[in-house]
A and B are shown apart, each in its own frame.
Chain A
Amino acid sequence: MAEEAKNDGLVHLTIDGIPVAVPPGTLVWAAAKQAGIEIPIYCYHPKMPPLGACRMCFVEIEKMPKPPQTACTTPVSEGMVVHTKTEKVLKARRGTLEFLLINHPLDCPICDKGGECDLQDFTLRHGPGATRFDLRKRHYPKPIPVSDRVLLDRERCILCQRCTRFCSEISMDNGLVMINRGYRMEVGTAPGQAFDSIFSGNTVEICPVGALTSAKYRFKARPWELKRIPSVCNNCSVGCNVRIDVRVDKIMRQMSRCNDDIDDGWLCDRGRWDFDYVNDAQRLRTPLVRRQPGGVLEPAGWGEALGMIAERLRTIKERYGASAIGGIGSTRTTNEEAYLFQKLLREALGTPNVDHHHGFFPGLRDPLTERPWMLTTAIADFERASHIVLVASDPYERQPILNLRIKKALKAGARIYVVNESPTELDRLATRVIRLPQHGAGAAARLLLEAALRQENLRNPSEEVRTRVLGTPQETRQAEALCGAETTAALRELAREIAAAPAALILYDEMATLAPGCANLAPDLQALAVITGNIDRPGAGVGPLFEDANSLGARDMGLLPDSLPGYRPASPAGLSYQEMLTSDAVKALYIMGANPARHLADGNLRRGKEFIVVQEILLTESAQQADVVLPALSYAEKDGSMTNVDHHVQAIRRALRPLPGARADWEILMDLAALLGHPWSYEGPEDVLLEIAAQHPLYQGLTWEGLGLQGVRTGEVEVAHA
């Protein structure tokens, strides 16, 4: 039996008498963790390479010279015998803690970290009860701001270097560095330089003591008062997993909740701190109605507001026909709500006009692969790319955590190519930066595709693409003229690299497709990936980086004029977003969780409209122009699912008691459907998800319980069937 166990490809060792089997290369610290044995650490962080600076993780390993050893820097070996509780080990840990506490101010009662502090906890469990140091402690002015968002207390710092190594190894911006050396060493920045990084909050989160604190959370709550609810960030399409920390029905902070497939354990500052709209005192708490045309918005009961909507929509439908009603959905509400919204419009009101604000993608599917428009690769697979080409996209600003994944790929050997109008944060690390003229992305995509088509030995030549592109040389000449000779030459060179790349990943921003001359951006880049064989291979891929938390879910759920849920063609097709906003034929607009006034030059939604309904959480520019405003709930106050940029379907969970007076979008839609003569019988979002799963190939088999804490990535299902 012992022989059998040895052939499992694992390394076998004993820790405190407990046999452990782990993959080769595992560190003793991680092996002990697997066996349920705590070895205290400060400098080590599982997402960063070992350092061995803090001397806290001592263990004794038999037959190794000079005990104790550091568990976080020692890899396991076969037959190793580790002791974590010998007198030698305990003495060494006590010694380390006594040193760490020499200059520590022990201001735990007013420290934000108190209650969740590794220095506090490990001192209790492993430390000496008293100090022998009876001299004066060192003092520094404190705290000092290292940026508007992060403050540094050098007295509390134990110099573990987690924060500075995050900045050098993970975000690669060296925003925080170690200054000086020896006993003078401290965390800091260059003189007069702010720690200006979209990832700065991660250093606060991984700081094992209270040295780095967040301006937003300082002195707001004690950790033991917080209710912690697992959810998903609502601020961009990456869908980073978060823990919402709540005190008395207010969000205090959002912390990272590691999902290796999506966020890799990190959270950007937008995700961490941009939640003020949920706590906002100006939140809508009651329906508002405009009782006379041209009158003011006045508070009303739910009965009056919903009754008014049903009646007015019915009248408009009778007078002008159903297609005089248009529905504009949201990219930030749940899949279930998006689904019910289009169902209300299409089935209860009978109008084909359903859309939302999104990028421009011709047709429901890419004609070459027959796949819906979405990223063809998993975020986790970015790391396996050999070339990452960013066309008209800037993840640092728009989908920040993808920027970290790209940097991880860079460390694994990938080359980065930035093809953009304006400078980006990645330029500094890019192999090549190709600067485009204004609105030049469409031309750049065209030139890349055209040059790739001229390569010999294309992995996947397509006659269709060849005819389309090479048959219209005047478009290529226009693109050359727009880009100029130098940029054109650089793009052609890049196309040759892509054609020869072991695994190229081509990314573009969803919204870049809306710029003038960029209508073919998506299909041209998709075709580029297909003909060069950079699709469906590990690390290779192509696709849009979507804008919002449920941008892809909105498409999936059929918030598109030409698509029903599941990308089944809608017949007849309805009017598009822009058409609904500008066409006089549309007399009534039903808007859920969107602010289309932002997309009109004069911001006037009312032109030609007789009746406008807006479901919102705040009185936005669009809500101010509505005839009925219905107060809705934020992502933190309801359950449901969201679909992120690489098609992970994930659960958001109710973290706060719903704001009194407001209701979830799905509840509002259900009531309105009933008033319109379509009583739906869903008990809650989980029932709606089951209905979606029954008719949408990409959601097949999904259940609310099945989404679990880490969500489910679907999409491969349909790839297999395509």
Chain B
Amino acid sequence: MISEQAKQRMRELAARYPVARSAVMPALYIAQAEEGYVSRAALEAVAEVLNMTVDDVESVATFYTMYYQRPPGKKVIKVCNSISCYLRGCDALIEQLERRLRIKRGETSPDGRYTLLTVECLASCGTAPVLQVNDEFVENLTPELVDRLVDQWEAEFQAEGQSQGRSPAGAGGC
């Protein structure tokens, strides 16, 4: 379900442009924020507000990689694999993350904790190699730093599980 407030924000955005369709990308972000990914309900809500067809919205939503077609993990890890990070050894780091998180790039772990993505330039070549965790930068990556990061995330999930008085969350995520 896309809330009425979200739809209202889309309408306000649409009103800023000469053509309502121009607001399709920010509107998709609003819809994605509601449910974590671009669901059928999200497509329909955007189509309705912007007077587009559902197929038209789907075409835009699938063109851009930052709209998720499926529910992502709680931690979305985006590792840059453009030229600077590549020259500074991102490939090995990505493989290390794949081993530690037990998923391949592009996948979400079955317990819904992690999504591992490779992305194009994150505009931080001076501190390459870099990654983002839920849009927060981690710079000047080394294999040791990656290990520490994963340990830290695991510890966070552990603590979360204990504070809720039960074992780590099952599959599903958001």
Binding site for B on A (CB under 8 A): 164, 168, 173-181, 188-193, 428
Contact = CB atoms under 8 A, between A and B. Distances in A.
Contact of A192 (B40, B52, B56, B59): B40
Interface string B29-67: 000000000001001000000011111111100110000
Sorted nearest first, the 10 A-B pairs with minimum C-beta distance are A177-B59, A190-B58, A174-B56, A190-B54, A174-B53, A190-B55, A177-B55, A180-B62, A179-B62, A181-B63
A173 B47 CA distance: 12
A168 B40 CA distance: 21
A605 B59 CA distance: 55
Contacts of A168: 56
Contact of A173 (B40, B53, B59): B53
A177 B55 CA distance: 6
Contact of B53 (A175, A188, A191, A192): A175
A181 B120 CA distance: 14
Contacts of A180: 62-63
Contacts of A179: 58-59, 62
A171 to B, nearest CB: 11
B51 A174 contact: no
B43 A190 contact: yes
Contacts of B56: 168, 174, 177
Given A174-B52, A428-B51, A190 B63 contact: no
B61 to A, nearest CB: 9
Nearest to B64: A181
Contacts of A189: 55, 58
Contacts of B52: 174
A198 to B, nearest CB: 15
Q: For B40, B55, B58, B63, which residue has the most chain A Cβ atoms within 10 angstroms?
A: B55
Contacts of A192: 40
A115 to B, nearest CB: 32
Interface of B: 40, 43, 51-59, 62-63
14 contacts: A168-B56, A174-B53, A174-B59, A177-B55, A178-B59, A179-B58, A180-B62, A181-B62, A181-B63, A189-B55, A189-B58, A190-B54, A190-B57, A191-B40
A175 B53 CA distance: 8
Given A180-B63, A192-B40, A175 B55 contact: yes
Interface of B: prevailing SS: helix
A181 B53 CA distance: 19
A178 B56 CA distance: 9
A585 B43 CA distance: 63
Contacts of B58: 177, 179, 188-191, 193
A193 B52 CA distance: 14
Contacts of A175: 53, 55
Nearest to B52: A174
Contacts of A177: 55-56, 58-59
B40 A176 contact: no
A190 B69 CA distance: 12
Nearest to A172: B53
Contacts of B54: 190, 193
Nearest to B65: A181
A168 B54 CA distance: 13
A189 B63 CA distance: 13
B63 A193 contact: no
Nearest to A186: B62
A428 B62 CA distance: 24
A178 B54 CA distance: 13
Nearest to A190: B58
A180 B58 CA distance: 9
A193 B55 CA distance: 8
B13 to A, nearest CB: 20
B22 to A, nearest CB: 15
Contacts of B59: 164, 174, 177-179
Contacts of A190: 40, 43, 54-55, 57-58
A398 to B, nearest CB: 22
Given A181-B63, A191-B58, 14 more contacts: A173-B53, A174-B52, A174-B55, A174-B59, A177-B55, A177-B58, A178-B63, A179-B58, A179-B59, A189-B55, A190-B58, A193-B54, A193-B55, A428-B51
B73 to A, nearest CB: 21
A429 to B, nearest CB: 9
A17 B62 CA distance: 47
A164 B55 CA distance: 11
Contacts of A174: 52-53, 55-56, 59
Contacts of A176: 55
Contacts of B62: 179-181
Contacts of B57: 190
Nearest to B47: A190
Contacts of A188: 58
A168 B59 CA distance: 12
Nearest to A173: B53
A425 to B, nearest CB: 11
Contacts of A173: 53
Contacts of A428: 51
Q: For B40, B43, B51, B56, which residue has the most chain A Cβ atoms within 10 angstroms?
A: B56
Contacts of B63: 178, 180-181
Contacts of B51: 428
A424 to B, nearest CB: 15
Nearest to A177: B59
A188 to B, nearest CB: 8
Contacts of A193: 54-55, 58
A181 B55 CA distance: 15
Contacts of B40: 190-192
Nearest to A167: B55
A189 B58 CA distance: 8
